[in-house]
Chains A and B, each alone.
Chain A
Amino acid sequence: MAVKVSLKVNGKSVSAEVEERTLLVTLIREQLRLTGTHVGCDTAQCGACTVSMNGMAVKSCSMLAMQAEGADVMTIEGVAKPDGTLHPMQAAFKEHHGLQCGFCTPGMVMNAIDFAKHHPNPSEQEIREALEGNLCRCTGYHNIVKAIGAGARAMAASK
């Protein structure tokens, strides 16, 4: 049966008719057509589906769209400024080449932004621990770790 869900996505109020079993990631990708949020493993391990909900990074394949009722959701599409200027964390991923194929990158960036808010100058160890829930099958993580450190410091500096 179709039910209504209302939430904010990237600052805009959104109402959608969904099936009760619709996952948040399905709403985001297939109804809102925001395909920057990826589905990798679909079993809550890889983190490619990470979005921000009320300021915290969550896995959108692991929750129902209905659980986001009234929530403030941000996806990778909402991170850059409207004029296209990259978010400091995105810029750091570009600068440090924190990606190869790029499939995991949106989830990496969304988790990294939330992490960096609490860790303005993180150690390598802290970054690696924070990446427990994000898998990358290309890079071996080295440049991702560098990018997140630089991005976190850039975010702190731009405050």
Chain B
Amino acid sequence: MHAFKYHRPSSVNDAAALMKGEAKLLAGGQTLVQTMKLRLASPSDIIDLGTIKDLAGIKSDGKTVTIGAMARHADVAHSVDVKKAIPALAALAAMIGDRQVRAMGTCGGSIANNDPAADYPAAVLALNATITTNKGKHEADKFFKGMFETALKPGEIITAVSFQAPKRAAYLKFKNQASRFAIVGVFVADFGGTVRVAVTGAGPSVFRQADMEKALAAKFAPESVANIKVKQDGLNSDMHASAEYRAHLVTVMARRAVEAALK
């Protein structure tokens, strides 16, 4: 790892003021520290958000679940409020990485990083979340811009993410056996009348599957999506799975997610 200057700000404003040049924010570090060890990232400054108060809370009024940017995956997975309002979201958090990674990794970190195979972006998109930052709010549909790219501007720091509670929902993931990242993950959320289907792992960035959403809005049943063929154009192809295989998996995981949501 290359040398850097370490900062421990006590507020989001102080952290934002430090965001200059090649500085990077450190949340849980479960991606960033490994990336730095491989010298794929060599920030000049590390700004540790770990000691800023009020960034880690979880709140729910039954209709909206608001998760602080620094809430750990383990906190979300075990939260009674999240389990009650959006069980699929707690289940998703419990599926990330392994239990040691979940003890450190954060909601805000995952979303800001926008790894093509990360789990949280699927929840953000399917649950029509609002991302709150020190500079304002972002709608889910306008937030994820491409591989590792988001609408966040330099100096902008996620403070919380508010997820809308659906009538029913489920997230199903076909995991890479070694990394536990999604080869394909599908989050299906039924809001009664409208349905949102978000796919992660399959493409360069999380996306919605409009034909499935339409079919499920007409009838929320596994057979509504079982015969929808997903185009492989633009999907990821790597040593783990071809684009053709990923396209096939989107349909399979969507059908299983609907089955799970109906249970």
Contact = CB atoms under 8 A, between A and B. Distances in A.
Contact of A45 (B2, B48, B104, B178): B178
A19 B34 CA distance: 17
Interface residues of B, number: 29
A83 interface: no
A5 B99 CA distance: 26
B74 A56 contact: yes
Contacts of A105: none
B180 A62 contact: no
A58 B103 contact: yes
Contacts of B103: 53, 56-58
Contacts of A42: 37
Contacts of A133: 97-101
Which of under 10, 10 to 19, 20 to 34, or 35 or more describes the interface residues of A?
A: 20 to 34
Nearest to B97: A133
A111 interface: yes
* Interface core residue of B74, B99, B180 (most chain A CB under 10 Å): B99
B99 A57 contact: yes
Given A20-B4, A45-B178, A56-B74, A50 B100 contact: yes
A64 B3 CA distance: 12
A47 B103 CA distance: 13
A69 B100 contact: no
Contacts, number: 78
A34 interface: no
A97 interface: no
Interface in B201-224: none
Contacts of B263: none
Nearest to B36: A21
Interface in B21-39: 26, 29-30, 33-34, 36-37
Contacts of A57: 99-100, 103
A132 interface: yes
A21 B179 contact: no
Contacts of A1: 3, 5
Contact of A67 (B29, B74, B101): B29
Contacts of B8: 66, 69
Contacts of A134: 98
A43 interface: yes
A56 B33 CA distance: 19
Nearest to B105: A62
Given A20-B5, A20-B6, A56-B74, A62 B99 contact: no
Given A20-B46, A21-B2, A21-B3, A64 B100 contact: no
A43 B99 contact: no
Contacts of A56: 74, 103
28 contacts: A1-B3, A1-B5, A19-B3, A20-B3, A20-B5, A20-B6, A44-B34, A47-B100, A57-B99, A57-B100, A58-B100, A59-B100, A59-B101, A59-B104, A63-B29, A63-B33, A63-B104, A64-B6, A64-B26, A64-B29, A66-B6, A67-B26, A67-B50, A69-B51, A111-B100, A132-B98, A133-B100, A134-B98
Interface of B: 1-6, 8, 26, 29-30, 33-34, 36-37, 46, 48, 50-51, 74, 97-101, 103-104, 178-180
